[in-house]
Amino acid sequence: MFNRVSLTGDVGLRHDNLDNQKLTTDNSIAINIAANGNITEKLNFNVSYNNNQQYLNLRNQYEELIRTTEFENFDTTEYSRLNSTTNLGLNYMISNNENVSNSIFGNFSYQTTSDYQRYDTTSANSKIYNGNFGYNFSLIPQKLSTSINLGYNKTEIQKQQTDMLTVGLNVNKTFLEKLSSSLSGTYAYTKIDSISSDIINVRLSMSYTLKERHNFSFSLNYVNSSQTQGNRNRLTMNLGYTHNFDIINRSKNKKEDQAND
């Protein structure tokens, strides 16, 4: 559309147990709609909507085994599940050249799930709200990139509500084209009904490649969790080494050398 917007959509139908020989009959309907494009040269977006409906008809296996004629009627359990998800994403490129690249983005999603069962007045319903905002900044010649993220999640399942707020910072730097490093930190505040907790996560990782065959890795992760039951601290360190034998290429090179001789 106008060389700026692309639309896609599909509808799927499913029905099994055509011969009525299975104990479970599954009927499903899936609808997917998506759009993405550029509002301006620097601002682009994506929107999607998914709706899945599933209906199950469960026949009683015990009554199926003890039936004497094919005309007997059985009690069945009818179960249905409805699931819909809506997503919206925006990205704005502030600048993008050989030296500097920086942009801001935002993602929003809303999901609902409903479960219903025949003769059961209670239903398991859930709602999930999720939002994420961020800023990316890169110095291309220096091979340095940073990002800042702010996220919020709210989940409602029947009578229980969970709220989570996260703030994250990540820095990546490459030295001498062989040594890559990453430092990230995240703070999360979670509240489940009246119970709250704070979590701080700091991670440092480094990787060094020697002669394209040897790779050395190191990571250090620190987690501090503060809850009503008390504080917990955890420190994890990992050292790794990977070697690429490259047997196939070596054998090819050896055959080529022998052929040249």
Task: Examine the domain organization and report whether 227 and 113 are in the same domain.
Answer: no
The tokens of 143 are what? 């091979």
pLDDT at 148 over 90: yes
Whether residue 168 contacts residue 136, with contact meaning beta carbons closer than 8 Å, is answered with no
* Reported confidence tier of residue 138, pLDDT bands at 50, 70, 90: very high
**For residues 150 and 134, what is the distance between their CA atoms, to the nearest angstrom?**
6
Task: Examine the domain organization and report whether 108 and 175 are in the same domain.
Answer: no
Give 165-179 pLDDT, tens digit per residue: 999 999 999 988 788
Predicted pLDDT of residue 41: 85
Predicted pLDDT of residue 253: 58
Indicate whether 59 belongs to any domain.
Answer: yes
Whether residue 199 contacts residue 190, with contact meaning beta carbons closer than 8 Å, is answered with yes
pLDDT at 196 over 80: yes
pLDDT mean over 36-60: 83
Enter the pTM of the model: 0.70
Task: Examine the domain organization and report whether 81 and 180 are in the same domain.
Answer: no
**For residues 149 and 133, what is the distance between their CA atoms, to the nearest angstrom?**
6
Predicted pLDDT of residue 46: 94
Task: Examine the domain organization and report whether 260 and 165 are in the same domain.
Answer: yes
| Strand ranges of the sheet holding 100-117, from the earlier edge strand across to the other edge | 5-15, 24-38, 43-59, 76-96, 100-117, 124-139, 144-157, 160-175, 179-192, 195-210, 214-227, 230-243
Indicate whether 141 belongs to any domain.
Answer: no
Indicate whether 69 belongs to any domain.
Answer: yes
Indicate whether 110 belongs to any domain.
Answer: yes
Q: What is the mean pLDDT of the chain?
A: 82
Task: Examine the domain organization and report whether 73 and 115 are in the same domain.
Answer: yes
Indicate whether 230 belongs to any domain.
Answer: yes
Task: Examine the domain organization and report whether 126 and 176 are in the same domain.
Answer: no
pLDDT at 38 over 80: yes
Among 11-20, 124-133, 148-157, name the one with the lowest average pLDDT. 11-20
Task: Examine the domain organization and report whether 123 and 164 are in the same domain.
Answer: no
Indicate whether 61 belongs to any domain.
Answer: yes
Task: Examine the domain organization and report whether 121 and 172 are in the same domain.
Answer: no
Task: Say how many domains are in the chain.
Answer: 2
Q: Give, in order, the Cα–Cα distances in Å from 8 to each of 4, 13, 31, 93, 135.
A: 14, 17, 11, 25, 29
pLDDT at 113 over 60: yes
Predicted pLDDT of residue 212: 78
Task: Examine the domain organization and report whether 212 and 256 are in the same domain.
Answer: yes
Residue finishing a domain among 113, 131, 149: 131
Closest by Cα among 39, 43, 50 to 5: 39
**For residues 76 and 12, what is the distance between their CA atoms, to the nearest angstrom?**
26
Q: Which residue has the higher pLDDT, 41 or 74?
A: 41
pLDDT mean over 203-223: 90
Domain range for 74? 1-131
Give 176-189 pLDDT, tens digit per residue: 878 899 999 999 99
Buried b (16+ CB within 10 A) or exposed e, 101-118: bbbebebbbbbebebbbe
Indicate whether 203 belongs to any domain.
Answer: yes
pLDDT at 64 over 60: no
Give 17-30 pLDDT, tens digit per residue: 777 766 667 788 88
Residue finishing a domain among 115, 131, 147: 131
Indicate whether 35 belongs to any domain.
Answer: yes
Task: Examine the domain organization and report whether 127 and 170 are in the same domain.
Answer: no
Task: Examine the domain organization and report whether 84 and 164 are in the same domain.
Answer: no
Task: Examine the domain organization and report whether 115 and 165 are in the same domain.
Answer: no
Q: Which residue has the higher pLDDT, 121 or 207?
A: 207
